[in-house]
Amino acid sequence: MKELFPAKQVIGFAFSLLLTVIALAVYFLDMPFAVGMTILLVTAFVQAGVQLKVFMHAGETEDKAAIYTNVYYGLIIALVTIFGTLLAMVWDM
Amino acid sequence: MEFFERFAVPHPSPAIYASMVAIGLVMIALVVGLTYFKKWGYLWREWLTTVDHKRIGIMYLISALIMLFRGGVDAIMMRAQLSAPENTLLDSQHYNEIFTTHGIVMIMFMAMPFIFALMNIVIPLQIGARDVAFPRLNALSFWLFFMGAMLFNISFVIGGSPDAGWTSYFPLAGNEFSTSVGTNYYMIALQISGIGSLMTGINMITTVLRMRAPGMTLMKMPMFTWSSFIANVIIVFAFPVLTVALAMGTMDRLFGTQFFTMENGGMDMLWANLFWVWGHPEVYILILPAFGIYSEVISTFSRRNLYGYKSMVASMVVISLMSFLVWAHHFFTMGQGALTNSIFSITTMAIAVPTGVKIFNWLLTMWKGKIEFTTPMLYAVLFIPLFTLGGVTGVMLAMSAADYQYHNTMFLVAHFHNVIIPGVVFAMLAGLTYYWPKLFGFMLNEKIGKWTAWLLSIGFLLAFMPMYITGLDGQARRMYTYSEATGFGPLNMVSFVGSGIMAIGFALIVYNIYYSTRYASRDISSDPWDARTLEWATHNPVPEYNFAVLPEVKSSEALWDAKKKGHVLFKGKYEEIHMPNNSGAPFLMSVIFFIWGFALIFSLWIPAIIATLGIFAFMTHRSFEQDHGHHISVKEIEETETKMRGAK
Ligand code: HEM
Ligand SMILES: [Cu+2]
């Protein structure tokens, strides 16, 4: 029975619904812009992680290393690009 | 009638009308020729529907050469215009259109397909595979590139060329200052071919990671495969930025959004930023495969293994990350503070270090080697000093304070031509000469080849060294004329002469192809250069299935060790080979992309919507299609192998 019930996926699904509800709350509740933005960013990244790990099965095959290298590489480049852009276009303008 | 007015060229000239006639005549000649010689079926069966990586490579190659000439004609016109002060050969508008077209054609439609050509031809052979990972996708990549390029190329006779520079900076590229459809062409043609490049990136990464012959670990891959692999990683991470930027630019121009405008919260500088977030990695996408070619050529013709294989790989991995950390050096003068400029200055200078490591590796490979000056080797040897010069001026430009003097002058123009011509173009020509026998079963003429290399080098020096000087003296780039009092006249005349010599060099390439096709001996071995890597372990030209038996590899120089140390490459006997089927879908889908692009460019909404539906229809069809490929029987393999061996 235990093998048949995809506990990990069901918990993952519930968790990702929870994340969605929290993100949605930013719209309905009245809060400062910075707080709302922080909540959105954090829930978005966690959500992406859940999707990758639980539903797209990253880490379950032999090319685990390649997949995670790829994800981290992408993350680093995205962060560098975003913060570099903010630096050049906004903070230091 | 009103409907057709939009297709008129806003700024016509006799030359443009003449081109219209010429294009029309060429098209008619093609149709008549194909019909007369009954070649339509051949064209469709053997080329338009092919998924064979070698044939796709050849089509990339032909496109790149044609675009080299298109861009070259633009270059000659610009140099002619500038050859004397207050020249009136071209007016300012035409000059703007020409330098814009020249830049885009050379980077996107000459250099990119040239590297894709070599990647397609070489990578599967070098890793001992039968094709790339996704052959059908590969065909789609090519056709999307091709349709994008064609779309861009018709702009000057239908609706007008883009004229805001190959960088297409906003607000100049916005609707307010660029009123013709020219910049729409830019946005949409690049979008279409960019999607193709992105798909090639994914395809090649998968190929390298999953299709290597048994025994070939990552650290046993030949250097060209390594360098292309890194270039494709950069493609996959850099091109999405261009895709997004182009989409935003398109929406600004067609749908009235305000991403890059100067009011309503838009930010024009963001375009420049995004463009270079893609643009700097792009220059490394171009140069890394070129470095790979030089590595192969230098080690083959020095008869030595590549010096410092591991440091070569390490430096490329470092470059792949660092190429994403330097982009702001392209707009040091845009107004950001000293802190930002200093950071990007330092990262830029730092990236010259891994690049320098590679130069030393090549020098040390040649050191004590038995150098043989074939044409590819001649290109490589000429490349080293010339490219180093470009690297040095790059570091000069990297000093942000000094860049206020150099930026947007001919000095900058000299720098990037100095890295791109000896770096990328020479490498591609070396690769073309080196791999020609692999593709066609005969060698290109060495004597003409060497003449070409020397003419290109001398022409290059004459054409671009003067620009360093006039640039430092203040000659701005993208200016269509200058006064006599500036004193730029004589040096610009020298440049013009240099560009003429280069033109002769490029013409010689075509002559060489013609001459060698007619007279070269077909009686060559499968390994005419006495090379070291796997691609030379099969026949010339390569049979459809590449290797009758898949090789087993023990070292990074599999063929050399097979020749010298007696490693056995091919064990076992022939087995049935599973190959992918040809398909017309990639070509047809790309034709629809062409129509889609054209409709969007001219805001023809109904055709655009129909074409969009057509694209989705193709994707749906593909999702449900059953295609298991075909098998080549052992008997057929035996026949082909005997025939190929007999031909030698
Ligand atoms: C040692 C390595 C290099 C350094 C330090 C370097 C540095 C720079 C800098 C600082 C600029 C901007 C200057 C300005 O706009 O005022 C620049 C422009 C440029 N570089 Fe390099 N570069 C290097 C290698 C390369 C390579 C290998 C390529 C191409 C294969 C390349 C292609 C270009 C292009 C196309 C531009 C200018 C594009 C434009 O503004 O239209 N560079 N380089
Ligand atoms: Cu750059």
Q: Whose CA is nearest to atom 23 of ligand 1?
A: B394
Smallest CA–CA distance from B324 into chain A, residue: A77
Smallest CA–CA distance from B343 into chain A, residue: A84
- Calpha distance B639→B637 (Å, rounded): 5
Question: Residue B642: is it exposed, middle or buried by C-beta count within 10 angstroms (0-12/13-18/19+)?
Answer: exposed
Which atom of ligand 1 is the closest one to the Cα of B165? 41
Cβ–Cβ below 8 Å for B324 and A87: no
Cβ of residue A92 closer than 8 Å to a chain B Cβ: yes
Residues of chain B with pLDDT under 50: 647-648
Encoded tokens for A47: 């959500």
Cβ–Cβ below 8 Å for A87 and B270: no
DSSP assignment of B252-311 equals: HHHH---SSSSSTT--HHHHHHHHHHHHHHHHHHHHHHHHHHHHHHHHHHTTSPPTTHHH
Where along chain A do its domains lie? 1-56, 61-93
Is residue B156 a contact partner of residue B73, using CB atoms and an 8 Å limit?
no
Cβ–Cβ below 8 Å for A93 and B337: yes
Give the pLDDT score at B647: 46
For residue B412 and ligand 1, the question of a CB distance below 6 A is answered with yes
Counting ligand 1 atoms within 8 A of each CB, the residue from B282, B322, B330, B404 with the most, and so the one to mutate, is B330
Mind telling me how many Å the CA of A18 is from chain B's nearest CA?
A: 30
Q: What is the pTM of this model?
A: 0.93
Question: What value of ipTM does the predicted structure carry?
Answer: 0.85
Give the pLDDT score at B646: 62
Provide the residue type at B353 as one letter.
V
Please tell me whether residue B579 adopts helix, strand or coil conformation.
strand
Question: Residue B643: is it exposed, middle or buried by C-beta count within 10 angstroms (0-12/13-18/19+)?
Answer: exposed
Closest to B195 in 3D by CA, of B150, B143, B260, B130: B143
Q: Whose CA is nearest to atom 34 of ligand 1?
A: B416
Segment B175-211, tens digit of pLDDT = 999 999 999 999 999 999 999 999 999 999 999 999 9
Q: Whose CA is nearest to atom 29 of ligand 1?
A: B283
> Which residues in chain B are closer than 8 Å to A73, comparing Cβ atoms?
233, 237, 321
- Beta carbons within 10 angstroms of residue B511's beta carbon: 15
Give the pLDDT score at B418: 96
Is residue B540 a contact partner of residue B437, using CB atoms and an 8 Å limit?
yes
Q: Alpha-carbon dihedral of residues B586, B591, B69, B355, nearest 10 degrees?
A: -50
B276 contact partners, CB below 8 Å, separation of at least 6: B327, B328, B330, B331
Segment B339-364, tens digit of pLDDT = 999 999 999 999 989 988 999 999 99
- Calpha distance B569→B551 (Å, rounded): 5
Is residue B147 a contact partner of residue B593, using CB atoms and an 8 Å limit?
yes
Q: Which of A73, A74, A92 sits opposite B339 (nearest CB)?
A: A92
Element (H, E) at B630: strand B630-632
Which atom of ligand 1 is the closest one to the Cα of B395? 5
Cβ–Cβ below 8 Å for A87 and B343: yes
Where along chain B do its domains lie? 1-283
Cβ–Cβ below 8 Å for B273 and A74: no
CATH of B1-283, one of 3.30.360.10, 1.20.210.10, 3.10.20.30, 3.10.20.80: 1.20.210.10
Ligand 2 centroid vs B427 CA: distance in angstroms? Answer: 20
